[in-house]
Amino acid sequence: MSNYHIKNLEEYFQVYRKSVQNPENFWGEIAEENFLWRKTWDKVLEYDLSKPEVSWFKGAKLNITENCIDRHLFSRGEKTAIIFEPNDPSEKAQHITYNELHERVCKFANVLKNQGVKKGDRVCIYLPMIPELAVSVLACARIGAIHSVVFAGFSASALATRINDCDCKIVISSDGSFRGSKSIDLKGIVDEALKSCDGVSSVLVAKRTNTEVQMKEGCDVWLQPLLDEASSNCPAEMMDAEDPLFILYTSGSTGKPKGMVHTTAGYMVYSAYTFKNVFQYREADVYWCTADIGWITGHSYIVYGPLANGATTVMFEGVPSYPNHGRFWEIVEKHKITQFYTAPTAIRALAKEKIDFVEKHDLSSLKVLGTVGEPINEEAWHWYNDAIGHQKCPIVDTWWQTETGGIMISPIPYATPAIPTFATLPLPGIQPALMDENGKELEGNQVSGRLCIKFPWPAMARTIWGNHERYRETYFSTFENSYFTGDGALRNSTGFYRITGRVDDVIIVSGHNLGTAPIEDAINEHPAVAESAIVGFPHEVKGNALYGYVILKESGESRNQDNLRKEINQMISDRIGPIAKLDKIQFTSGLPKTRSGKIMRRILRKIASKDIKDLGDTSTLLNPEVVQEIIDNAL
Ligand code: PRX
């Protein structure tokens, strides 16, 4: 039995037991047998969670790009590493082999070197989902520069904040980007951002839209001529196991975004190991994760995890609704996708559309379906399982975070059973705990509490860039010697975990704790409802009462609203109990969402509380226009 690839439930239990009984042996064996090291470690793990200080594979020397590219060249040189599927379906897809990827990464790495970039320097990457994005990420890793990818949907001010926070010298961007029927002036956004970034010495500009842009003398440089001239020979920089690999920003509940720092060896081992198992990846598979590389999901499960396994990974530039709502399914058919990984919000949006968009396409290549980013409601889960998986593909509901670097709690197909809305069981090496409000660990099953991880794992973020104290305070001060996730979870009678949502979204009504996710699940089961969000608002008698924002499907729009309100409350009453009934239900055409598709409850809470003076910065929302509509129709 190989610890690296779990194939059934018995193996899962054995491997899991081993991973918690002797984590050092467990991870040491996996690291030794499956990766390329220039020098092995002196110590697998050293940690002190009170500081917190964690180091994995201390003393080891490696380069992650040798693991993701070079070592595959002998056996898989002509295998496709990356399939680039453009926004416009009439543009030809690109198949980039491992040999080609090697050449492109080495050339790009030499361009960076020629620009004066050295090991440890920070490089900001602000690119659409085009091959240059993956190549530039790997080029940074090749020379030991720390990449900080900023999602190319962020505004100029959000970009500037991130560039300045970690003092990036270089920005890599493009003239523009295509998203559906839109063409976005990315270079203009960079120009605007750089007005407040003094430390940036040059901007490397890739051509994508061929739109006219301003090129500032002495700063802006076209990328392609530099690549054409660059040498394709670039030996990999030798990195220490704990050298930073990248910074990725995530927003906190307060304050400026947190630059989570991930380091080299542990992150590599963990992202590769979890990719292999959670997606049951096999050599001939064609794997597609629909996320953007601007998020952690793209870092770990478009770039590093798949490439470390020598996989073929798809990068999709466009959106699920362009040129029509069948685009995802058309791509699955076209490239014979075997593993498909997306977000519940996309599933819900597509489930609202006519089933013809799905049924037109041959989805028989699919083997495993995944979701990530938020709890998946029961209705969406079943639609995914029935319409897309034809009840033949295991669904992996993967729970994890930017901070965790890789998937933490998730079914393993053919090993751990999937249950709708449950992330199920911890992956090997992950030791979850549920805590009560007083910091006491809740033992046994059928308990709910705050989800913590009580033992280090290889891919955990090591610090917040420039602010270790904030890292300690945010994640390690609430519960002693444990990483606090900020999420609530329940453990059912068989020990399976269900993530119930951020604990900051828990609402106490008449002294009862109510998670928003189960109430939303109940509402979403109503046949006329497409999506909903619940927040609390102050109530004289109950302390808090519940306010629901509900998006109706087309079929519900012509219905009597008071009747619908009654039916929705009856649904909640039936599913959870009368205590969870909503005091107010507002029908709306949309919900304010972050670019990654998360509902901004902070804004909804303020509107529900009639406190609209200071809604904070709404400019980075996906759909800022919906905020005014909600204010105008507030109850
Ligand atoms: O609340 C959890 C939710 O997303 C949060 C992490 O967000 P982010 O750092 O942006 O990373 C998202 C991609 C890994 C978590 O604290 N979350 C993520 N996955 C799930 C989830 N909630 C429920 N079920 C999931 N599968």
* Closest alpha carbon to 230 in 299, 142, 149: 142
* Closest residue by CA, ligand 1 atom 6: 401
Could you report the per-residue pLDDT of 210-257, keeping only the tens digit for each? 999 999 999 999 999 999 999 999 999 999 999 999 999 986 545 578
Report the distance separating Cα 419 and Cα 430, nearest Å: 20
> What's the pLDDT at 312?
98
> 156-174: buried (b, 16+ CB within 10 Å) or exposed (e) per residue?
bebbbbbbbbbbbbbbbbb
Strands of 529-539's sheet in order across: 529-539, 543-552, 584-587
Could you report the per-residue pLDDT of 135-147, keeping only the tens digit for each? 999 999 999 999 9
pLDDT-based confidence at residue 518 (cuts at 50, 70, 90): confident
Could you report the per-residue pLDDT of 60-106, keeping only the tens digit for each? 999 999 999 999 999 999 999 999 999 999 999 999 999 999 999 99
> What's the pLDDT at 543?
62
Q: Which of 372, 496, 593, 595 to mutate to test the pocket of ligand 1 (most atoms within 8 A of CB)?
A: 372
> What's the pLDDT at 3?
73
> What's the pLDDT at 1?
47
The CB of 259 under 6 Å from ligand 1? The reply is no
> What's the pLDDT at 10?
94
* pLDDT at 504 exceeding the cut of 70: no
> What's the pLDDT at 254?
53
Could you report the per-residue pLDDT of 444-494, keeping only the tens digit for each? 999 999 999 999 999 999 999 999 999 999 999 999 999 999 889 999 999
* pLDDT at 515 exceeding the cut of 80: no
Q: Which atom of ligand 1 is nearest to the CA of 250?
A: 9
pLDDT-based confidence at residue 157 (cuts at 50, 70, 90): confident
Report the distance separating Cα 8 and Cα 413, nearest Å: 8
pLDDT-based confidence at residue 511 (cuts at 50, 70, 90): very low
The mean predicted confidence, pLDDT, of the chain is: 93
ipTM of the complex: 0.99
Q: Find the Cα–Cα–Cα–Cα dihedral 261, 402, 514, 563, rounded to 10°.
A: 140
> What's the pLDDT at 513?
53
Q: Which atom of ligand 1 is nearest to the CA of 400?
A: 14
* pLDDT at 386 exceeding the cut of 60: yes
* Closest residue by CA, ligand 1 atom 4: 373
Could you report the per-residue pLDDT of 107-135, keeping only the tens digit for each? 999 999 999 999 999 999 999 999 999 99
Q: Which two tokens stand for residue 150?
A: 């900023």
How many residues appear in the chain? Answer: 635
The CB of 34 under 6 Å from ligand 1? The reply is no
* 434 Cα: distance to centroid of ligand 1 (angstroms): 17
> What's the pLDDT at 510?
61
* Closest alpha carbon to 534 in 625, 624, 601: 601
> What's the pLDDT at 618?
82
* 142 Cα: distance to centroid of ligand 1 (angstroms): 29
The CB of 400 under 6 Å from ligand 1? The reply is yes
The CB of 502 under 6 Å from ligand 1? The reply is yes
